Amino acid sequence: AQSVTQLGSHVSVSEGALVLLRCNYSSSVPPYLFWYVQYPNQGLQLLLKYTSAATLVKGINGFEAEFKKSETSFHLTKPSAHMSDAAEYFCAVSDEGSGNTGKLIFGQGTTLQVKP
């Protein structure tokens, strides 16, 4: 069965510093991988997704993630944090075991705090 692990439920960085949010997955087949962001009082918004094309995926708001099959990782990075990046971030994998129904399996979420 597929699963997603996000290391660190809370990450704190200073404004302008590198953001690194970690995500590891388990999957028996090449997965589709996603990062979603939830700002306060809003729904989840797709940041980026990996669908077995380029291993380095660029998303919105300057975020990117690299798919590393050997490490079963899909870490999210941003070179320079902005105050507006403070939010909760979710890594997810599509449940291919269901025959690609679009069903997502989520990690526990990581709350990013950006300090001035």
Q: Which residues bind another protein (CB under 8 A)?
A: 4, 32, 36, 41-46, 49, 51, 90, 95, 98, 100-109
**Number of neighbouring beta carbons within 10 Å of residue 12:** 13
Q: Shortest Cβ distance from residue 19 to another protein (Å)? A: 21
Q: How many CB atoms lie within 10 A of CB 35?
A: 25
From CA 73, how far away is CA 66, in angstroms rounded? 8
- Residue placing its CB nearer to another protein in the complex, 43 or 116: 43
Tell me whether residue 36 or residue 74 sits nearer to another protein (CB atom): 36
Residue among 62, 5, 61 nearest 33 (CA): 5
Write down the least CB distance from residue 62 to another protein, Å: 19
